Structure 1
Amino acid sequence: MTRTAKLLLLATAAGAAVPLAAQSAPGSAVPLIERAKLFGNPTRAAGRLSPDGKWLSYIQPRDGVMNLWVAPASAPNEARPLTAEKVRPIRNAFWSPDSKQLLFINDKGGDENFLLYGVDVATGAQRALTPFEKTRVQLIGGSQKIKDKLLVGVNNRDPRWHDVHLLDLTTGKLTLVFQNDGYSGFVADDDLRLRLVSKPRPDAGSDWFRVTNNVPEKTAVVSYGLDDSQTTAPLGFTTDGKTLYWTDARGRDRAALFAQDVATGKMTVVGESARADVSGGLFHPRTGALEAYSDYYLRNDYVPVGDSVRADLAFLKAQNKGDFAVTSRTEADDKWLVSFDPVTAPAATYLYDRRAKTLTQLYVSRPELVGAPLVGMHPQEIKSRDGLTLVSYLTLPKGADPDGDGKPNAAVPMVLLVHGGPWARDGFGYNSAHQWLANRGYAVLSVNFRASTGFGKSFTSAGDGQWGRKMHDDLIDAVDWAVKRGVTTKDKVAIMGGSYGGYATLAGLTMTPDTFACGVDIVGPSNLHTLLKTIPPYWEAVKLQFYKRMGDPTTDAGRAMLTERSPLTYADKIKKPLLIGQGANDPRVNVAESDQIVAAMKAKNIPVTYIVFPDEGHGFARPTNNIAFNAAAENFLAGCLGGRAEPVGGAIAASTAQVKEGAQHVAGLAPTAQ
């Protein structure tokens, strides 16, 4: 099983052209790209090769819902459906090590209680492999030697901790291997033996312990505190168990890849970047040996380690089809699936034959966007007021920047699009939200503010205790940069984002009420006290990290900070239009977060538009719901910034959207009089 497959499980989204709402808006001569083409189901996605090379799997629509399909590798267009999900889309899948089953996870209504399912490729029989209620599965290990079994964690006994089980993929039997009473991380070898476990420390770091016969040793072999908690962790063993790879920032600022000799304990740097954290790469599918690592500062680049894939990476780069990612490899390593992202065209996935050095296009993810007026993305380095470098990404409306220098000929309205996390990052590539907003006439700026990950632990730690303060200052500094550069004007900037980006939106409209013209908050927390009280129980291991980085609710000083940094505290300061979207089943940012600030605004007679989706969680997974909210958002923004908008039309009616408040404030939301 590839490391990509493991990450997928752990991680663990028409009609004729319509008239424009604002013909005089920026870019009005550019054809409008319909929402359905940007946010509807892709035609095909997430292609994967089976380890034995006999099959290709895809995720593509069946009766309007994303499902698993499979085709012979020799006849990739002869795909047949394997699953028949009717409501909740399947978003990721991976192959069993023996190539007999496709495995996927799914939840109910966005509750994030992800269960593991297996589908037999030969018979199409589907089975729940973790058939429990209110349980979240965690994949711990797969094997090249023991191909009919996996190690999985399930938290059905204690929702805070995952007990480790051996899962027999043939019979579905689960056998308890390790009862977990306080460990947060696990690493197994290719014999499916637990070799390392981690336990949270009082300082919000972690201690890692060796495991013998499923019993952890008493003394930690690796320890680190809060500063290294986002950058240091074991990645996995080579198949022979002799080498353990780590991403490690101890004693340095940026994480590097280390190879540890298990026998001697010696750590050797095998991959590092001058400007970014290195956290992963390409590992040989049979041996598990590192062959290349990812150097991702402004854009991602594969750096070969040794010569095993050096020629392949050079060949793929020379195709000039855009930045590429190797998404799947056969066990024999003779075939790869490679996705190319040209940004100004939809991504395409190719079959790469290593021996013949040939590329065969398998599919374009969104063929309806071929020839659409998509635009480029400009990486930028913006300086904060205290000297930090904020890696950012700017997209401009088509025609606004004829010479392609990332500066429009005349200022245009702008949307500051803030990422979630906040311990995550924005990156380079095709971005549906950027393309959508740019097509509507806006510049779009995404900023890796302090606390974002990927740029060294000091940059991440610079956000500790800075919610609503220096983290927000970085966003303001980026807006000031855009104004000084002539990208936009100070009175024509909206702020928009989901999760932490939703918080930033609320902070922007409450703590800096004159800075933004309006805001769009998607599943954003308004009250940091209630946010921390309602985080899911399976986040127990990282709870202290939240306390240390946000404010500690167990201390007087911490509680005071949480009050001071909560947008709800300043709800009466809101003076600019606000649109809020929320999933009713969100386990991370409870629906009460949006309810509270809406109630506070109503109490002060401050207008707000509030849309709730009863079948969604932390974001909108069902395309009809995503399209509906974006229909509201673009018409909201058109009223605020003067850009273009495709009319709402029947988008709301086609979804489960409940417009709880303020339909009258957005064109097309209020029902028409009969």
Structure 2
Amino acid sequence: MTGAVVAGGPVTEALFAAETNGHFTLGGSGSVVAYVKRTADGEELWTGAPGHHVRRAGHEGERITGPRFAAGGDTVFYRHARRGREAWNLSAVRLSDGSRRTILGDGSLAEFWLSPTDPEALVLSRRPRQDLYDASLRPLAANPGYHRWLIDNRLRPRGGIVLAADGSARVELGADLARARTVLTVDADAVPDLAVLRFSRDDERLFLVTSAGSPVRRLLSVTATGDVTELFAHPGLDLGGYPVAADGVWFDPRTGEPDLCAVMDQRLRYQPLTARAADRVAERLRPGDDGTPVLTGRSHDDRVWLVSTVHSDGPLRHGLVRAGEAEQVVAHNRPELVGAGLPGLRDFPFVASDGRPLTGYLLRPGEADGPLPTVVLVHGGPIARDTWRFHAEAQYLAALGYQSLHINFRGSAGFGAAFRLSGYGEWGGRMQQDLYDAVVHGVELGLVDRARVAFLGSSYGGYAALLAACTRPDIVRGAIAVSPPCDLVRFAAEPPAYWRPLVRQLRRQVLQTADGRPVERSRLDQRSPMSAVGPGSAPMLIAHGARDPRIPIADVTGFVGHARDLGVPVTFLRFDDEGHVIHADANRARLYREIAAFLEVRLAAR
């Protein structure tokens, strides 16, 4: 498919659809890839190699995620759940004969671990208590109070993560659970970026990433005796990478030792830990005009790499790379957009009104000149970030003639602990002001039409969009919010059950500043859309899934009713078969056509 993008045409429709292919993972032999294909009826598990693809399983009305090859490569395990729900089941497919079996089908799966040597060995944890079971669902161990289990290579429970009453976390290790000891304490402010990776081959060291005791997120190894070793830390950036790959850390499949890390500022930067890894990166991951190559899988002998090449102006390409050979393309995540001639992201650095340097990205439609109607796309989290990537939502807006701004406001992840913590107590405060400052800077550069600006976001981004409409109609002519927290005070004081394991961290982010000072109740009210909305607020388009466990539908409908009673124009889209994210193509088509109609009215020239 080539040529210009036409609003309402097939390319535009492909942009508001969810990606066709995702969750790519490489089998240990390096010859086959497992991935998830989305269809109109539900999602399917496929395996593929260049030029040869096989459908393995389908689940109507369900989502599939996390396919993983068992030892030997003949069996693929994967999680699946009813669309909109976050109650996961576990199934497996044997590639040699096509047989499929459901291991756990009651929606209680928390996590599962596979043996690196035995294709049949499996351990899983089940909600609500997260006790451990084997492949036949025989009980193995009762949970002594862990938020997450730590399981070694021989599928033995070796400890876990304990969330303390003060919001901190303890990493406990021990060959005997009754004698497990705390080997690392992670303060409450560092808990959001803690990630446990794996054990070493001899099960003596646990690899994890955290910013505990450090100005940046770094790679550590810890032992059951409490020895902590720093393996990598960047001077100013957090360890991390693209969501399609590992958590910024890759392991040599021959030794099981970490050999490659990454950080991200405006682009991904690889940080090899060994000379061999440096050579392989130079040989197989050479960035260029064709995009940014991201390592997403390695064969057991390390001869074959699965590489996913990120573009900002086209779909993600997944291919197999061998030393000295050209890439063999397996599939694109959005094959219908290959060659569509789409615009690319530009860097957008600026200085906030209080002097803090910030950055982000800008997407302008085609060869447009001068100030344009602009949509500020606010990322969720808020401890997340925007990256240089293909942004289908922004491309859809560009096809309609709107440019988009993507801002990594303070509180975003990736730029060090101090930057992340600067967002604490600033929901609706400095984090929000950063977004307004970005608009002002765009106006000063002659890029943004000051009279035609809208905000759009999901989750936290939806909250920020609503608040902008409620409190700054002088800047924002309309807000589009998907799954937004609407009552900030209630959200922090009485969070839904989904958030209760992390309630201390949530309250810390919302109710206290980085230095521990409480945010006054009057200020919280000013920063809450439920309290701040008034007759002069800008019009809103709000969408929500009735199955959302993170933001109850009643909270959203309550806000919609309240805003309408005040005379605020609100379009509300309720999706009874969706959750926190709108997945189904039919629902996404309805949502994005409503977005187009909303923006056509709100951002029309005066």
TM over 0.5: yes
SS in 1 for 2:212: coil
What pairs up with 1:12-51 in 2 under 5 angstroms?
34-40=11-17, 42-51=19-28
| Aligned equivalents of 2:99, 2:115: Cα separation in 1 | 23
SS in 1 for 2:491: helix
Matched, 1:351 2:320: yes
Matched, 1:145 2:117: yes
SS in 1 for 2:275: coil
| Aligned equivalents of 1:289, 1:273: Cα separation in 2 | 22
* One-letter amino acid of the counterpart of residue 253, structure 1: P
Q: Name the counterpart of 1:200.
A: 163
* One-letter amino acid of the counterpart of residue 395, structure 2: Q
How many percent identity over aligned positions? 27
* TM-superposed deviation, 1:570: 1.9
TM-score by length of 1: 0.82
Q: Name the counterpart of 2:460.
A: 500
Tell me which moved more, 93-102 or 618-627.
93-102
Q: Name the counterpart of 2:300.
A: 331
| Aligned equivalents of 2:235, 2:585: Cα separation in 1 | 38
Q: Is the 8 A contact 2:43 2:59 kept in 1?
A: yes
| Aligned equivalents of 2:356, 2:179: Cα separation in 1 | 42
| Aligned equivalents of 1:83, 1:533: Cα separation in 2 | 43
Q: Is the 8 A contact 2:5 2:342 kept in 1?
A: no
Q: Name the counterpart of 1:668.
A: none
| Aligned equivalents of 1:345, 1:568: Cα separation in 2 | 39
| Aligned equivalents of 2:4, 2:215: Cα separation in 1 | 51
Q: Name the counterpart of 1:80.
A: 54
Q: Is the 8 A contact 1:230 1:457 kept in 2?
A: no
* One-letter amino acid of the counterpart of residue 413, structure 1: P
Q: Name the counterpart of 2:443.
A: 483
* One-letter amino acid of the counterpart of residue 100, structure 1: D
Q: Is the 8 A contact 1:183 1:198 kept in 2?
A: yes
What pairs up with 1:651-666 in 2 under 5 angstroms?
none
* One-letter amino acid of the counterpart of residue 304, structure 1: P
Deviations 1:558-608, CA, capped at 9 Å, x for gaps = 766654432101222443221011101100011112201111022223221
Cα RMSD for the two superposed structures: 2.8
| Aligned equivalents of 2:20, 2:164: Cα separation in 1 | 46
Deviations 1:173-223, CA, capped at 9 Å, x for gaps = 123333225321332221222223221223311122223323353x52211
Q: Is the 8 A contact 2:217 2:237 kept in 1?
A: no
Change beyond 3 A, Cα 1:235–1:90: closer
* TM-superposed deviation, 1:498: 0.3
| Aligned equivalents of 1:53, 1:559: Cα separation in 2 | 57
Tell me which moved more, 89-98 or 440-449.
89-98
Q: 1:423 aligned to 369, 380, 383, which one?
A: 383
What pairs up with 1:549-588 in 2 under 5 angstroms?
549-551=509-511, 562-588=524-550
* TM-superposed deviation, 1:306: 0.6
* One-letter amino acid of the counterpart of residue 313, structure 2: T
* TM-superposed deviation, 1:515: 1.9
| Aligned equivalents of 2:44, 2:293: Cα separation in 1 | 25
SS in 2 for 1:344: coil
Change beyond 3 A, Cα 1:18–1:233: closer
Change beyond 3 A, Cα 1:530–1:241: same
Matched, 1:458 2:418: yes
Q: Name the counterpart of 1:394.
A: 362
Q: 2:570 aligned to 608, 627, 644, which one?
A: 608
| Aligned equivalents of 1:307, 1:18: Cα separation in 2 | 45
* TM-superposed deviation, 1:529: 4.2
* TM-superposed deviation, 1:453: 1.4
Q: Is the 8 A contact 1:33 1:372 kept in 2?
A: no
| Aligned equivalents of 2:149, 2:7: Cα separation in 1 | 54
Higher strand share: 2
**Paired residue total:** 593
SS in 2 for 1:458: helix
| Aligned equivalents of 1:385, 1:431: Cα separation in 2 | 28
Tell me which moved more, 117-126 or 453-462.
117-126
| Aligned equivalents of 2:537, 2:187: Cα separation in 1 | 42
Change beyond 3 A, Cα 1:387–1:252: farther
Q: Name the counterpart of 1:520.
A: 480
Change beyond 3 A, Cα 1:518–1:131: same
* TM-superposed deviation, 1:635: 1.6
| Aligned equivalents of 1:17, 1:629: Cα separation in 2 | 23
Matched, 1:290 2:258: yes
Change beyond 3 A, Cα 1:485–1:18: closer
Q: Name the counterpart of 2:92.
A: 118
* One-letter amino acid of the counterpart of residue 523, structure 1: S
Q: Is the 8 A contact 1:208 1:222 kept in 2?
A: yes
Structure 1 unpaired stretches of 5+: 1-13, 22-31, 401-408, 644-674
| Aligned equivalents of 1:346, 1:233: Cα separation in 2 | 28
* TM-superposed deviation, 1:248: 3.2
* TM-superposed deviation, 1:545: 0.6
| Aligned equivalents of 2:139, 2:588: Cα separation in 1 | 40
Deviations 1:109-132, CA, capped at 9 Å, x for gaps = 312112222222233333332222
SS in 1 for 2:138: strand
* One-letter amino acid of the counterpart of residue 322, structure 1: G
* One-letter amino acid of the counterpart of residue 431, structure 1: H
Matched, 1:249 2:211: yes
SS in 2 for 1:107: strand
Change beyond 3 A, Cα 1:625–1:62: closer
Change beyond 3 A, Cα 1:36–1:215: farther
* One-letter amino acid of the counterpart of residue 143, structure 1: S
| Aligned equivalents of 1:61, 1:600: Cα separation in 2 | 37
